[in-house]
Amino acid sequence: MRGPHNIWRLIVTGATLERTGAMGVVLEAMNAPRHLRILARVGAWPFKWLGEKGDPTLPPATRALTALGPAYIKFGQILSTRPDVVGEELAVQLRKLQDDLPPFSTDVAKKLIEEELELPVDQLFSEFSEPVAAASIAQVHRARLADTGEEVAVKVLRPGIERAFQKDIDAFYFAASIIERLSPASRRLRPTDVVEHFEGVVSGELDLRLESSAASEFAANTKEDAGFSVPATFWALSNRRVMTLGWAEGAPLGNNAAIDAAGHDRRVLGERVLQLFLQHALRDGFFHADMHQGNLKVGANGDILCYDFGIMGRIDEYTRRVYAEILFGFIRQDYRRVAEVHFEAGYVPADRDIDEFARALRAVGDPIFGMDASHISMARLLSYLFEVTERFGMQTRTELILLQRTMVVVEGVARSLDDHINIWEVAQPIVEDYIKENIGPKAFLRDLGKTARVLARFGPKLPQMAEAALLSQNAQTEPAKRGFSLRPILWMGLGAALTGAAVFAASAF
């Protein structure tokens, strides 16, 4: 429940931010109004001694959030995907936020599993290890199924984590409401919307059935992808607070020495990581939004193994086409087309000058393409692109920001495997294939087919709809003065014609 009972938690939060030096950093990064900065600093200073010290070796913001606990760590991780809110510099710091917390007792984990699955752990698993990883929300155990002997990873939520998170989320809402009341100018930062976004993400992670579903969907989408593997979901051993997946055995993708020792080609792996991400984003519109080295391994057969599906990204088909055309335009250095795509999609207001926008885009792209391959950065281009579009009045689009952030991470993974990788050469075939399949005559006919299926559902109703329109017109008073409108009937006829044309086109295709 949101209210005054959250004041103490906010006092401790403010004191910790002030004590660790994070208060000024955060307020400056968010461009908070000057009077709000002064008010926050003055209000927190007397309580500074109540704040947590944190780890002095960490940057201020990271130090403060780590000291404040799991909800704040997760909040910082999510804010790292929103440079539009916290600024690029702070977002980079938050991406390094450590999510390595002390594990809770294995006996407690076993008890939670038994409560969720309603069977003794010894009956379910012939082996059950101590925690192999512990994060802000859950920890993971390595186990072996009693009936088949298969190795699995068992993820268990921290005890009481739901209640603890809800208390902190309530405090976040309370703080957001105070900020908005005290400083109307701060509403442009949308503090309440930011908290709502955080609550939505965390709610999904606090129900492991949703993560199991994401893992299952991702596995189904990618089952034909060569050199890529997603662990199987064991639904019978998964529930709201427990999730069981197949064990991913392999060398961590961040351990180049182990990868070399296993005889894998790091250049091939780097190219594959980047191409797979683009395939998932463009082809499926459903991508792993946390594809860092800690969530990727290399199997003995050279396959890239992916796990941890708590943060996934989804973009609709139209946005995928726009994104692909933008990338393709930059690859071909056709800045006029990139500008046109932005205007056609409504990303940039129609009253802006398209030629000026195209010139600004050239200033972004040409210097990057003039660099040595080892310095060509798609992430840098996307970052510059967002700066330019912001100057031309483009509204923030959350789905593109998450895509950009993931692109930065994936590019970093590829560079860590091979620092001479040419990002654009690797991306070009994936983007070109998508363009061929989804933009042009084939895509137009396919879209007509989809339209036909929608309109066909209304086919049986067309006669009644036309008759109702006629009766409505006949019932109008003074028809001579008002005139008889054929518009409804023309729309019915047009709908029928479109249905017929689309069905014909789809059948021909």
Asked if residues 329 and 357 have their Cβ atoms less than 8 Å apart, the reply is: no
End-of-domain residue from the set 398, 422, 439: 439
Whether 288 and 381 share a structural domain: yes
Whether 304 and 344 share a structural domain: yes
Q: Give 498's pLDDT tier (boundaries 50, 70, 90).
A: very low
For the chain, how many structural domains are there in total?
4
Roughly what angle, to the nearest 10 degrees, separates helices 161-182 and 34-44? 130
Which among 170, 290, 303, 308 is annotated as catalytic?
290
CB burial of residue 18 (10 Å; 0-12, 13-18, 19+): buried
Contacting residues for 112 by C-beta, under 8 A, at least 6 apart: 156, 157, 159, 241, 242
pLDDT value for 443: 62
> What CATH number did the domain enclosing 214 receive?
3.30.200.20
Whether 73 and 167 share a structural domain: yes
Provide the residue type at 460 as one letter.
P
pLDDT value for 306: 93
pLDDT at 77 over 70: yes
pLDDT value for 37: 66
pLDDT at 506 over 50: no
Number of other residues whose CB lies within 10 A of the CB of residue 45: 14
pTM summary value: 0.73
Residue 117: name the closest of 149, 90, 152, 82 by CA. 152
Q: Give 501's pLDDT tier (boundaries 50, 70, 90).
A: very low
Average pLDDT over residues 450-470: 71
Query: In this predicted model, what pLDDT tens digit does every residue of 478-497 receive, in sequence order?
Result: 554 555 454 544 444 444 44
End-of-domain residue from the set 418, 439, 460: 439
Give strand pairing partners of 127: 144
Whether 149 and 195 share a structural domain: no
Give me the half-sphere count of Cα atoms (radius 13 Å) on the Cβ side of residue 2. Answer: 11
- Domain enclosing residue 32, as ranges: 4-99+162-200
Asked if residues 341 and 329 have their Cβ atoms less than 8 Å apart, the reply is: yes
Residues belonging to the chain? 509
End-of-domain residue from the set 439, 465, 484: 439
- 357 to each of 349, 360, 395, 399, how far by Cα in Å? 11, 5, 15, 22
Q: Report the Cα 277 to chain-centroid distance in Å.
A: 12
Whether 310 and 364 share a structural domain: yes
Contacting residues for 453 by C-beta, under 8 A, at least 6 apart: none
Whether 288 and 422 share a structural domain: yes
Query: In this predicted model, what pLDDT tens digit does every residue of 126-164 receive, in sequence order?
Result: 999 999 988 888 999 999 999 999 999 999 999 988 888
- 21 to each of 64, 71, 86, 89, 176, how far by Cα in Å? 8, 20, 16, 16, 21
Provide the residue type at 210 as one letter.
L
pLDDT value for 305: 95
Asked if residues 403 and 312 have their Cβ atoms less than 8 Å apart, the reply is: no
Give catalytic status of residue 265 as yes or no. Answer: no
pLDDT at 304 over 90: yes
Separation of alpha carbons 219 and 228, rounded Å: 10
Whether 195 and 239 share a structural domain: no
pLDDT value for 382: 66
Q: Give 377's pLDDT tier (boundaries 50, 70, 90).
A: low
Give me the half-sphere count of Cα atoms (radius 13 Å) on the Cβ side of residue 411. Answer: 20
The string of DSSP codes covering 462-490 is HHHHHHHHHHHHHTSS-HHHH----HHHH
Whether 357 and 392 share a structural domain: yes
pLDDT at 369 over 80: no
Whether 49 and 180 share a structural domain: yes
Whether 55 and 18 share a structural domain: yes
Per the prediction, the chain carries an average pLDDT of: 79
Q: Which of 76-80, 261-265, 431-435 has the lowest mean pLDDT?
A: 76-80
Whether 409 and 489 share a structural domain: no
Average pLDDT over residues 201-216: 88
Whether 171 and 40 share a structural domain: yes
